[in-house]
Amino acid sequence: MPSEAPFPLSLEQEFLRLQHQNDGSAGDFGPRPISSGGWRLTGDLDVEDFRRALDDVVARHEALRTELLPGEAAGEDGGEGGGWRNLVHPPGPSPALEVHDLTAGDASRQERSEAFLNDVESGTFDMSRVPAFWAHVGRLADDDWIVVLVAHLPVVDVWSLSLVMRDLVELYAARRAGRAPELPEIRQYREYAAHQRTGADEAKAARSYGYWRDRLSGAEAVALPTDRPPVAGEPSGTRCDRFAIDAELGTAAVEFGRSLRCSPFMVLFAAYRVHLLARTGQADAVVWTLSPGPGRRRRWMADTVGYFVNFFPLRTDLTGCRTFRDVVERVRESCLSAFTHEVPFVRLAAEAGEQIAALEQSDRIAERARPGFQMSPNPFVLREQEAGGVGCVAAQRRRSQPLGPDVPDDAILWTAELGAGGELLFAVNSSVDRFDQESMDAMADEFTRVLRAGVGDPEIRLDELTASVRASGGGSGAGSVHASGRAAVAAETTS
């Protein structure tokens, strides 16, 4: 039996519950509420010691053995969080571990590892089991392995899985060497949820509420046309389309951003915003984004496993922007102010309810979807570990999958990631009911055209750029990066 009393949902967990409760998903947290990630291991992996290290990491992090209970099961009668509670179980039983032989086949190891990761991710998982945490290990060769970790999303976000894998490698190495693990002290997620309820942050947050009420006054959300209207009944699922932009343009985009004191997110979001402008004509509008969350910026929460992801509206007004450089600078200004005033969305919705309600009304239009854009929150993508005779690096994917992690039926979410070799990797999650494959390919191509032209010649006129995107009809392939800048766009526009 659990030794601790259940504790209420955090504000971030409460938002996730409300989102799935209201978007037509099955159940309060959706039909497939998982977080997942893959890592390549090199070296002589001892599976039994790895299994024991899994027990160790579950004992270390309470979130990995946390069960979500609805109000009636938690002995509550509605109230805060709809009565839902986090219930932490003591260590044991062991998490599920499956070992797969992936040595056969003509495909490359990279292709086999990506196919394996996609197959695991598209599976079904019993979120009521404890721990709701799974590990799949695929043997590509005697010294080459792919590890996939899956957890219950409302208690463990994707960023947290990177922390889990970091600790897992060290715990495995300690077992192999017969020594104590060298890991930082951690605070548990219950402490974060409790801190939110103290009201200690309200004085600072009050200033941010005023900012958001002013910022969102009169705003409208980008409403992206879809191929089909919403379907009756339960949605068919979410596809994940992936494409890559080569290292030459990827490196150039990062360097261009650095010259303007912009993060990679700001440059990529600027290109995405121009792509949306060409499709919708909305110059002043909100695009939703996901961040690792304000809780992650707290030093005492840096190594905590839990659900911290935050959802908030990013308003950019491109009115008066003449060039792509102007767009990037406008985006930078918007991002700096928005992230400075970031608060959990549940509180934002409560304090700026009228403005948020207007956004929800404006973007819930038949045959339209809400676009979102985020950078991968994984802090260890480019960081290699080596311990206990095993090297570890995060797996990166280019292979699309017909069934990926769910997004609401009326949303389309782009996730950008910096590749290890300088390339840019994108995953686009969308409803299979609302968008055709041809449309997804065209969007990827349009975005690539904008980024290629804008980075190649930052002084290219915005109207010229959007006109070229409209005229291109999707172009010649999202992953292909050829000529760049004004000359390429002008040639396409006049041909």
Provide the 10 A C-beta neighbour count for residue 79: 10
What CATH class does 8-179 carry?
Answer: alpha beta
- The answer to whether the beta carbons of residues 359 and 220 sit under 8 Å apart is yes
**Per-residue pLDDT tens for 160-175?**
999 999 999 999 999 9
* Alpha carbon distance 338, 71 (integer Å): 34
The CA distances from residue 418 to 368, 376, 379, in Å, are: 29, 8, 11
pTM of this prediction?
0.88
**The pLDDT of residue 149:** 97
Which pLDDT score, from 0 to 100, does residue 19 have? 78
- Stretches in the chain below the pLDDT threshold 50: 24-27, 74, 77-79, 81, 363, 379-382, 474-495
| Angstrom distance (rounded) from CA 239 to CA 373 | 16
Predicted local confidence at residue 254, as pLDDT: 96
- Where exactly are the structural domains of the chain? 8-179, 218-488
pLDDT of residue 203: 79
pLDDT digits (tens, 9 = 90+) for 310-320: 998 999 999 99
SS3 labels along the chain:
CCCCCCEECCHHHHHHHHHHHHCCCCCCCCCCCEEEEEEEEEECCCHHHHHHHHHHHHHHCHHHHEEEECCCCCCCCCCHHHHCEEEECCCCCCCEEEEEECCCCCCCHHHHHHHHHHHHHCCCCCCCCCCCEEEEEEEEECCEEEEEEEEECCCCCHHHHHHHHHHHHHHHHHHHHCCCCCCCCCCCHHHHHHHHHHCCCHHHHHHHHHHHHHHHCCCCECCEECCCCCCCCCCCCEEEEEEEECHHHHHHHHHHHHHCCCCHHHHHHHHHHHHHHHHHCCCEEEEEEEECCHHHHCHHHCCCCCCCCEEEEEEEECCCCCEHHHHHHHHHHHHHHHHHCCCCHHHHHHHCHHHHHHHHHHHCCCCEEEEEEEECCCCCCCCCEEECCEEEEECCCCCCECCCCCCCCCEEEEEEEECCCCCEEEEEEEECCCCCHHHHHHHHHHHHHHHHHHHHCCCCEHHHHHHHHHHHCCCCCCCCCCCCCHHHHHHHHHC
pLDDT given for residue 3 in this prediction: 55
How confident is the model over 88-119, as pLDDT tens digits?
Answer: 999 988 999 999 999 998 999 999 999 999 99
CATH value of 218-488 in 3.30.559.30, 3.30.9.10, 3.30.70.260, 3.10.20.90? 3.30.559.30
Q: What is the pLDDT of residue 470?
A: 84
